[in-house]
Amino acid sequence: MSKKSKHLQKTYLDDFLHHQASLIKSRVGLFCLLSILIYLLSTAMSFVIIPRSLAPAEIQLFQFLFLGTGFIYILVKRAKSIFFTKLYAYIYICVLLFVLSKLNIIYPAYMRISVGTYIFLLFFVTFSIPWRAFETFIITTLHIIAYTFLFMYVHKNMAETVQQSFDVFYYFSGFILLCMGFVLCFIVRRKESIRDLENFILLMQQQSRNAQIKKELDLAARVYETLVPKSIETDFFDIDIMYMPVSYMSGDYAKYYFADKDLLIFIICDVTGHGVSAALLVNRMHTEFMQLVKEGKEPNDILKELNSFIIDEFGDLSMYMSAFCGLADLQEMRLTYSNYGHPNQYLYSKTQAKIFSMPSETTLLGIIENPQTDSKPILFLNKGDRIVLFTDGLTEIENDTNQEYGKKRLEEFILNNPSLSPKAFSQGLLNEILSFKEGDFKDDIFLVNIMIKS
């Protein structure tokens, strides 16, 4: 075994002992409270079964038990180590055994079932507190001593009729039952001690792995965040980005690229699914997209290439992606685009005070090869126009009646806020969906809004 493994095992063992100390402390406190409760319930049941008056000696005995329980409970709560916690537990066991023996002396009629009460107490003590296996021998020894003391006391101080009900044969029968109880308690406690240690080590190992996974996810999330574009304003375009993932990493992706100062190409995508696999596909799509735009490809060609790439590389994994790609050319003042299975995206025309919808032309990326699409859908641009790009997490937000925010409300917001800057537009839309939604966001939200300045 390596030094590292030995060190880990020692660390786990130290942590386990510390955990056990805390557990034993709480269990001993609970044991004290349960003992009082069981005594009261058993006394009440005995009054129901055999109506009788409460003997003065039993009143004094209960006072002794109550005060002893309170005293031990306080000591246990203040105990600084597992040694003293167990020591107080042993003392309390002696208190209970004294009370049990005294009750048999006060009520000789119960002498014939005395061994049953001792065995019950043995099991109650053993299984209420996580003792080590060898400690059950000490507990059983205390029970046998108390049982033997009761036998000797009966035959020395009590009437012959009581002695006959608690003869030598009955004593040895009870002794054998207590020994058998010890064997059972020893076996169970030994197995439970081994199981508790193994489970604790497994738990610690799992927590260590979870911590490592969280660390790696945090790092992956930071890497993923580098793919999220920043808001920017130039002489020709004002672009604002709003990105709200629901987990570490998202399957949403957006990117823009200035082929020239007045030539902007952009894309927004949404991978089916969430988490690491979706984020990895997004990472690969980013690389492919940047390569294609630097080659001067137009939107329709870019999405065709990305579609072939997903089919070739990920076709056997059933991973698909909706995507919208556009090219804003301010020399020609026109917008060309392509849409593969993505929600309708919008162009708001300021001069016409009208929204133009840019719908999907075909299926998601990665489903079929060579889908039929319009080679070059075109919309014309003017100063003050706004291009609104988003993923479906925005429109699928639900309120308390399970109604979706939907494209109609989004269109109304666009029409009602034509003059807002992209940043103010994003903030206003965020405020609206926050007041609309009920509960947490259930899907990632990506919003890109682009205002034409010149």
Which tens digit of pLDDT belongs to each residue from 92-151? 999 999 999 998 888 887 788 889 999 999 999 998 888 889 999 999 999 999 999 999
Is the pLDDT score of 296 beyond 70? yes
Mean pLDDT rounded to a whole number for the chain: 87
Which tens digit of pLDDT belongs to each residue from 269-290? 998 866 677 777 888 889 899 9
Where are the CATH 3.60.40.10 domain residues in the chain?
227-452
- 3-state SS, one letter per residue, for the chain: CCHHHHHHHHHHHHHHHHHHHHHHHHHHHHHHHHHHHHHHHHHHHHHHHCCCCCCHHHHHHHHHHHHHHHHHHHHHHHCCCHHHHHHHHHHHHHHHHHHHHHHHHHCHHHHHHHHHHHHHHHHHHHHHCCCCCCHHHHHHHHHHHHHHHHHHHHHHHCCHHHHHHCCHHHHHHHHHHHHHHHHHHHHHHHHHHHHHHHHHHHHHHHHHHHHHHHHHHHHHHHHHHCCCCCCEECCCEEEEEEEECCCCCCCEEEEEEEEECCEEEEEEEEECCCHHHHHHHHHHHHHHHHHHHHCCCCHHHHHHHHHHHHHHHHHHHCCCEEEEEEEEECCCCEEEEEEECCCCEEEEECCCCEEEEECCCECCECCCCCCCCCCCCEEECCCCCEEEEECHHHHCCECCCCCECHHHHHHHHHHHCCCCCHHHHHHHHHHHHHHHCCCCCCCCEEEEEEEECC
The model carries a pTM of 0.61
Closest among 271, 195, 191 to 227, alpha carbons compared? 271
Looking at residues 197-218, what average pLDDT do you find? 81
Return the pLDDT at 292. 94
Is the pLDDT score of 182 beyond 60? yes
Which tens digit of pLDDT belongs to each residue from 220-239? 777 777 788 999 999 999 99
Looking at residues 293-320, what average pLDDT do you find? 89
Q: How confident is the model at residue 424 (pLDDT cuts 50, 70, 90)?
A: very high
Question: Which of 3.40.190.10, 3.40.640.10, 3.40.50.2300, 3.60.40.10 would CATH assign to domain 227-452?
Answer: 3.60.40.10
Highest mean pLDDT among 192-196, 206-210, 422-426, 443-447: 422-426
Is the pLDDT score of 5 beyond 80? no
